[in-house]
Amino acid sequence: ADSWLPTLKTDTPEQGFQLAIKMSRMGVKTAQPNMDVLKKGRAEYSNDAEDLIQVSHVVATNFATVAAANNYWK
Amino acid sequence: ADSWLPTLKTDTPEQGFQLAIKMSRMGVKTAQPNMDVLKKGRAEYSNDAEDLIQVSHVVATNFATVAAANNYWK
Amino acid sequence: ADSWLPTLKTDTPEQGFQLAIKMSRMGVKTAQPNMDVLKKGRAEYSNDAEDLIQVSHVVATNFATVAAANNYWK
Amino acid sequence: ADSWLPTLKTDTPEQGFQLAIKMSRMGVKTAQPNMDVLKKGRAEYSNDAEDLIQVSHVVATNFATVAAANNYWK
Amino acid sequence: ADSWLPTLKTDTPEQGFQLAIKMSRMGVKTAQPNMDVLKKGRAEYSNDAEDLIQVSHVVATNFATVAAANNYWK
Amino acid sequence: ADSWLPTLKTDTPEQGFQLAIKMSRMGVKTAQPNMDVLKKGRAEYSNDAEDLIQVSHVVATNFATVAAANNYWK
């Protein structure tokens, strides 16, 4: 099957940010593959300011990795 | 459409800090695009000391990436 | 006995992500080896949006290490 | 107007630590510019052990950036 | 007396992970040397999914340092 | 007056760990200089497993900086 993460390489910082979001989501999906549970969870965190701040923190941590992998798109 | 993150390059550390804030906000907006929900969330976190400290932590994580991307504006 | 972590080297980013998940799990298992307790814990965190976000944050931190170890699979 | 963050350069590690504190505070102030709200928030977090530990964590994250920017004052 | 942390050097990644666990424990023990308190604390966190996830996050942070110190055991 | 942080240089990893603890404490003391408040806070966090884990996380973040500053005492 195709890999969901064939490379860390992206053409632009914005694509890199999208990849960081995907990695953050996969960090959850691999721990909890059940879509119903994930949908219920989404309803919770997506309406909770504190949770959304934590989501942004995970994206920031993954984006740091993607940015370094792309040499900051210099 | 124009990208909201065309580059990580900024002229000054302060602009880099502003970009880190923008990235932190986008980390929330991409998870929750609904403006009404975001406004309600802002009313919550912006009056909560603990949440504001977490916001600053996300900005610090993103600023570390932007600073490295700009070679610390040496 | 064979080591569960003989190397940080992986062929692809996706395998690197799997290794980061394994390292995150071992970070818990070494602190709490009792399988019954772990199973009960899994039932808790795997149905809690906030906990799943924290799990993703640990995976992101470990993935950063694995990605650097593999020179970002350039 | 003068920038509050003209440079990441400081002469000593202690000044670097002071800058990291200033950056951590600005991470809050940019999210919540209202001084009354900030004063109320200070009364809360400055008497809460958990919050003070989180404040120290944000300072540590910003200090890592400032220290790298100054090549660890070698 | 012998140092508990004479070096960051380890022969294998698994030993590096063990060292990261030891460093994480010492981060607690230096803050709270009283064994009775630590035992009571262990009973708490080792049965709490959220706490075990945080423990894994501290180990991941320390492991990143040990892995870099050993040049990722390349 | 003498600086509490004249340098990040230490002779050994253990001294580096001690410095990371001192930096973590100063991150709190600069935010809350009142000793009575700090003593009350200590009584709280030093008997709370979760808080002690967070303390260890701050020490780990500061130790990463000190270790890099000392080139991992290679």
pLDDT tens by residue, F11-35: 999 999 999 999 999 999 999 999 9
Q: How far apart (Å, rounded) are the C-alpha atoms in residues E18 and B38?
A: 43
The pLDDT, as a whole number, for residue B24 is 98
Rounded to a whole number, what is the distance in Å from the CA of D6 to chain B's nearest CA? 6
Task: Tell the burial category of B67 from Cβ atoms under 10 Å away from its Cβ (0-12, 13-18, 19+).
Answer: buried
DSSP letter at F70 equals T
Select from C3, C31, C45 the Cβ nearest to the Cβ of E50.
C45
Asked whether this complex has an ipTM greater than 0.90, the answer is yes
Select from D30, D45, D57 the Cβ nearest to the Cβ of B50.
D45
The pLDDT, as a whole number, for residue D30 is 95
What are the chain D neighbours of B56 within 8 Å (beta carbons)?
Answer: 24-25, 27-28, 31, 58
**Interchain CB contacts (distance < 8 Å): B and D:** 93
When pLDDT is cut at 50, 70 and 90, the band that residue F38 belongs to is very high
The pLDDT, as a whole number, for residue F24 is 98
Rounded to a whole number, what is the distance in Å from the CA of D48 to chain F's nearest CA? 7
With a cut of 80, say whether residue C59 has pLDDT above it.
yes
Q: What is the pLDDT of residues C8-27, one digit of tens each?
A: 999 999 999 999 999 999 99
At F59, which amino acid appears? V
The pLDDT of A53-69, averaged and rounded, is 98
Q: Given an 8 Å threshold on Cβ–Cβ distance, is B59 in contact with D27?
A: yes
What are the chain A neighbours of C12 within 8 Å (beta carbons)?
Answer: 3, 5-6
Select from F49, F55, F68 the Cβ nearest to the Cβ of E27.
F55
Phi and psi torsions of D49, nearest 5°: -55, -45
Select from E3, E23, E41 the Cβ nearest to the Cβ of F49.
E41
What are the chain F neighbours of D61 within 8 Å (beta carbons)?
Answer: 61
The pLDDT of E12-29, averaged and rounded, is 98
When pLDDT is cut at 50, 70 and 90, the band that residue E35 belongs to is very high
Subunits that touch chain B (at least 3 Cβ pairs < 8 angstroms)?
Answer: A, D
| B–A touching, 3+ CB–CB pairs within 8 Å | yes
Chain F residue at shortest CA distance from E24: F56
Question: What percent of chain E lies above the pLDDT cut of 70?
Answer: 99
The pLDDT, as a whole number, for residue D56 is 98
When pLDDT is cut at 50, 70 and 90, the band that residue A2 belongs to is confident
Q: Given an 8 Å threshold on Cβ–Cβ distance, is B27 in contact with A74?
A: no
The pLDDT, as a whole number, for residue E11 is 97
With a cut of 80, say whether residue D1 has pLDDT above it.
no
| C–D touching, 3+ CB–CB pairs within 8 Å | no
Element (H, E) at A1: none
When pLDDT is cut at 50, 70 and 90, the band that residue E73 belongs to is very high
Q: How far apart (Å, rounded) are the C-alpha atoms in residues D69 and C23?
A: 30
Nearest to E69 by CA among E2, E20, E1: E20
Element (H, E) at D43: helix D35-45
When pLDDT is cut at 50, 70 and 90, the band that residue D63 belongs to is very high
The pLDDT, as a whole number, for residue B2 is 86
The pLDDT of D27-45, averaged and rounded, is 95
Nearest to E10 by CA among E55, E61, E56, E71: E71
With a cut of 90, say whether residue C2 has pLDDT above it.
no
Each residue's pLDDT expressed in tens, for chain B with a length of 74 residues: 689 999 999 999 999 999 999 999 999 999 999 999 999 999 999 999 999 999 999 999 999 999 999 999 99
